[in-house]
């Protein structure tokens, strides 16, 4: 099932895709889930109940609706950095496990909603990504069991502002306990960068349009990813190229950080495919060029957003 | 008013401090706020209603209660990095504005709750910090108006794992648009680090015990900060030494990221005060030494947590 959240008469309600460009909105009834978190908590029973409710419900065109993030306020959005095998030859040093940062849920916007940029942000580029939606609490889970904790998949465009990234990077002398005397200190030359701004500004997390439940995605690592800017193909990739796979990522995160129902895990960015004729996503400066910017993932759909200036 | 959240009979309820070590728990009544978000939304009216309710309500000893984070699940926790004037001589390059990262709300625990560490985390040290609780939505606010958006203040211990920080740092060639031809790319030698794990592991955010409403803190930059480990003073500092002040920080964050009621802003860490005889917080390895670890801030109170291993 493809299931999203839309704003209708001031209230967030569910929307179920019934064709390429049409959805139905289930009635408000006691025996049906009202919010995406209800669906996730009552899954898989909720899915059958929603399916049975489709019947002859009126159809709405996708682009006539006001989409909000499929999980409107997830507890957290965990993003995986530098997770494409095409990165390998440009990493001089780094971890072999997934490295993560948190994108605030206040930065999320739905399909069709404007990305609101400021010239002070400098260059802002898209990062087309597969996003995993957690269905069951995951703490210290094994790789073999990890996919059982997945409710479904959606699309996220992990907007990034490299000028702000550069500004928010420190070269400094970190304080460590002194070698040989742990009650004294010594200084260690270090670099540290902080993603709160360059990854977490308002509207830097367009997500959706909907979640495709796990049963419809036989293999999350066989999905074509395309990024299109103003009608021109920018990047074509496949989730097969992700270095750390969904099961590895969930198991690893859960070894230090609980994943809760509705949490989102963004898997890392599709890159320029050799010979595709596309550019790198880094060439698309949304601040200068405007939108729309689209991300499509096969079996899921297309997330498209215009650009506005604030 | 000092107001926190406690778990009682399986439900999170409010607790109001009435002496150094005693609180009352307001009755469940329609005319009283039930949760901290209710209090914040109905502030300042809610405060007068709660005050009127204290009367002869039964007293509870603070340490007999199960404390949860004062705002149990804030929308986001924005943390300011390297914000102490004592840092100045160890920063070779970095921004003059506040640099931020997001700590997930799933990492928060209340006063008295155990910090659950793993040996795989390596060294974990405390970072005693003043935390600001947002009371009113702040988007593009001016410095002069910023404090009007503050509901109150609490204490956060921003646990940090430097070994994980080192592991999650990349030295890599970032892709930028080529100088002179923005449709081609060039590589730029860069460092980037990701705080999802070293700042965001479960229990890395002890916070509380309660919020002191803004009216009781005449100047948030005249508060003594103390960090005590196993009864021994580690660090003594004052919020006067914070480089970016509360009003600057709120105004700056709000220029790119909305702050919403219940959001937390952690102001940055107290450091060793010259001549205090204390150590640096970096000398306190909680993974090896265990707890309890205490942070006290004058006019607010004391946040104390034991350490367990998982």
Which residues of chain A lie closer than 8 angstroms to B173, CB-CB? 90-92
Q: Give the pLDDT of residue A87.
A: 79
A94 closest CB neighbour out of B90, B101, B172: B172
Say how many CA atoms lie within 13 Å of B166 toward its Cβ.
13
- Note the pLDDT tens digit of each residue in B181-204: 888 889 999 999 999 999 999 999
Q: Give the pLDDT of residue A274.
A: 47
A201 closest CB neighbour out of B118, B174, B256: B256
Which residues of chain A lie closer than 8 angstroms to B117, CB-CB? none
**Residue A205: closest CA among chain B residues belongs to which residue?**
B257
CA distance to partner chain B, nearest, from residue A150 (Å): 18
Sorting pLDDT into bands at 50, 70 and 90, what band is B271?
A: confident
CA distance to partner chain B, nearest, from residue A61 (Å): 31
| Contact yes or no for A104 and B78 at CB 8 A | yes
Q: How far is residue A3's CA from residue A38's CA, in Å, rounded to a whole number?
A: 12
| Contact yes or no for A196 and B172 at CB 8 A | no
Which residues of chain A lie closer than 8 angstroms to B200, CB-CB? 100, 102, 257
- Note the pLDDT tens digit of each residue in B65-98: 999 999 999 999 999 999 998 878 889 999 999 9
Query: 0.95 exceeded by the pTM?
Result: yes
| Predicted confidence pLDDT, tens digits, chain A (310 residues) | 999 999 999 999 999 999 989 999 999 999 999 999 999 999 999 999 999 989 889 999 999 999 999 999 999 999 999 999 887 888 999 999 999 999 999 999 999 999 999 999 999 999 999 999 999 999 999 999 999 999 999 999 999 999 999 999 999 999 999 998 888 889 999 999 999 999 999 999 999 999 999 999 999 999 999 999 999 999 999 999 999 999 999 999 999 999 999 999 999 997 765 455 557 899 999 999 999 999 999 999 999 999 999 8
A71-161+199-309 sits in which CATH class? alpha beta
**Structure tokens, A210:** 């909907």
User: What mean pLDDT do residues B151-176 have?
Assistant: 96
Q: Give the pLDDT of residue B274.
A: 47
A194 closest CB neighbour out of B76, B99, B121: B99
Residue from A83, A102, A259, A274 whose CB has the most chain B CBs within 10 Å, to mutate: A102
Least Cα distance to B77 among B168, B167, B206, B220 occurs for: B206
Virtual torsion, Cα A257, A259, A262, A264, nearest 10 deg: 60
**How many angstroms separate the Cα of B122 from the Cα of each of B104, B206, B287?**
20, 19, 7
**Structure tokens, A72:** 């409107």
Q: What is the DSSP string of A73-139?
A: S-S-EEEE-S-BGGGGGGEEE--SSPPEEEE-GGGEE-TTPPEEE-GGG---B--EEEEEEE-S-BS
CA distance to partner chain A, nearest, from residue B100 (Å): 5
CA distance to partner chain B, nearest, from residue A88 (Å): 9
B177 closest CB neighbour out of A79, A192, A283: A283
**Structure tokens, B107:** 């990492």
| Contact yes or no for B257 and A120 at CB 8 A | no
| Contact yes or no for B257 and A202 at CB 8 A | yes
Question: How many degrees, rounded to 5, is the angle at CA B73 between CA B293 and CA A79?
Answer: 90
Which residues of chain B lie closer than 8 angstroms to A168, CB-CB? 95, 99-100
Q: Give the pLDDT of residue B310.
A: 84
**Environment class of residue A114 by beta-carbon count within 10 Å: exposed (0-12), middle (13-18) or buried (19+)?**
middle
The yes-or-no verdict on residue B275 having pLDDT over 60 is no
Residue from B115, B169, B180, B197 whose CB has the most chain A CBs within 10 Å, to mutate: B197
**Residue A169: closest CA among chain B residues belongs to which residue?**
B94
CA distance to partner chain A, nearest, from residue B193 (Å): 5
Kindly report which listed range (B86-100, B138-152, B217-231, B286-300) carries the lowest average pLDDT score. B86-100
| Contact yes or no for B195 and A194 at CB 8 A | yes
CA distance to partner chain B, nearest, from residue A154 (Å): 21
Q: Give the pLDDT of residue A138.
A: 98
The yes-or-no verdict on residue B272 having pLDDT over 70 is no
**Residue B98: closest CA among chain A residues belongs to which residue?**
A168
Q: How far is residue A30's CA from residue B60's CA, in Å, rounded to a whole number?
A: 40
Q: How far is residue B272's CA from residue A110's CA, in Å, rounded to a whole number?
A: 46
Q: How far is residue A50's CA from residue A17's CA, in Å, rounded to a whole number?
A: 11
What architecture is domain B73-161+199-309?
A: Alpha-Beta Complex (3.90)
CA distance to partner chain A, nearest, from residue B25 (Å): 28
**Residue B260: closest CA among chain A residues belongs to which residue?**
A106
- Note the pLDDT tens digit of each residue in B234-259: 999 999 999 999 999 999 999 999 99
């Amino acid at each position: 099932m493809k299931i999203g959240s839309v704003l209708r008469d001031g209230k967030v309600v569910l929307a179920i895709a019934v064709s390429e460009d049409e959805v139905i909105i289930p009635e408000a009834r006691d025996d049906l889930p009202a919010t995406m978190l209800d669906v996730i908590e009552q899954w898989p029973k909720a899915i059958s109940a929603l399916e049975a409710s489709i019947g002859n419900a009126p159809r709405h065109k996708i682009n006539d609706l006001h989409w909000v993030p499929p999980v409107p306020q997830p507890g957290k959005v965990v993003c995986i950095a530098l997770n494409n095998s095409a990165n390998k030859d440009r990493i001089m040093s780094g971890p072999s496990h997934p490295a993560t940062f948190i994108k605030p849920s206040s930065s999320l916007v739905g399909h069709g909603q404007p990305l609101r940029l400021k010239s002070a942000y400098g260059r802002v580029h898209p990062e087309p990504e597969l996003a995993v939606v957690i269905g069951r609490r995951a703490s210290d889970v094994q790789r073999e069991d990890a996919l059982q904790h997945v409710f479904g998949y959606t699309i996220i465009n992990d907007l990034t502002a490299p000028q702000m990234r550069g500004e928010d990077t420190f070269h400094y002398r970190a304080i460590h306990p002194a070698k040989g005397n742990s009650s004294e200190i010594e200084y260690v030359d270090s670099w540290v960068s902080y993603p709160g701004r360059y990854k977490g500004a308002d509207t830097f997390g367009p997500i959706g349009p909907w979640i495709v439940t796990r049963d419809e995605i036989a293999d999350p690592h066989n999905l074509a990813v395309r990024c299109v800017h103003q009608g021109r193909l920018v990047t074509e990739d496949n989730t097969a190229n992700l270095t750390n796979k969904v099961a590895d990522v969930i198991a690893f995160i859960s070894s230090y950080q609980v994943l809760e129902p509705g949490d989102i895990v963004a898997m890392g960015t599709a890159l320029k495919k050799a010979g595709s004729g596309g550019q790198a996503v880094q060439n698309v400066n949304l601040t200068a060029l405007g939108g729309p910017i689209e991300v499509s993932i096969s079996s899921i759909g297309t997330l498209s957003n215009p650009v506005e200036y604030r």
